[in-house]
Amino acid sequence: MKPDYSVYGMALSVFDLDRSVEWYTEVLGFTLVRRTRFESVNSDLAFLECKGIHLELIKGAESIWIDALFAEPPDHLKPIGNKALVMQVDDIKRASQDLEDRGVTIVWRERVMDENGTLNTMFRDPDRNLVSIFQR
């Protein structure tokens, strides 16, 4: 019998854990659940949650930047791996304006993504990780 898998959340490597916790709680409304240290991987972690999405922010002792992972779209799709944290909103115009008002780096705003009229705003967190919000 196959195990019953379900998606729990995702993890992001960050440069400054305190700054990232503040950004994800203040800008996107996540709640800090707990902070801890994983000695086995020499890293500090913060566990956040927002409407059932679990996000692990990880500050490794020897983190490095790999520029190709932070390319501007559509070049961000060239490296294999994670692309963006994706969230849904009910009012993308209001959410996009809120992000802009907070000084968030916007990659694109309210772009129609498909034949169904899915609207998407793409932006970056403090470590240049891509975050995507959409409205259907």
Count of structural domains within the chain: 2
Report pLDDT for 4. Answer: 82
Domain that holds residue 89: 68-136
88 with 52, same domain: the answer is no
Is the same domain home to 47 and 76? no
- Report the pLDDT value the prediction gives residue 112, as an integer from 0 to 100: 93
pLDDT tens sequence across 13-70: 999 999 999 999 999 999 999 999 999 999 999 999 999 999 999 999 998 989 888 8
CA distances to 18, 112, 119, 120 from 136, in Å: 33, 10, 6, 9
Which ranges in the chain belong to alpha helices (H)? 17-26, 92-101
Residues 31 and 47 in one domain: yes
Q: Report pLDDT for 82.
A: 84
Last residue of a domain, one of 19, 36, 64: 64
Predicted TM-score (pTM) above 0.85: yes
Shared domain for 110 and 52, answered yes or no, is no
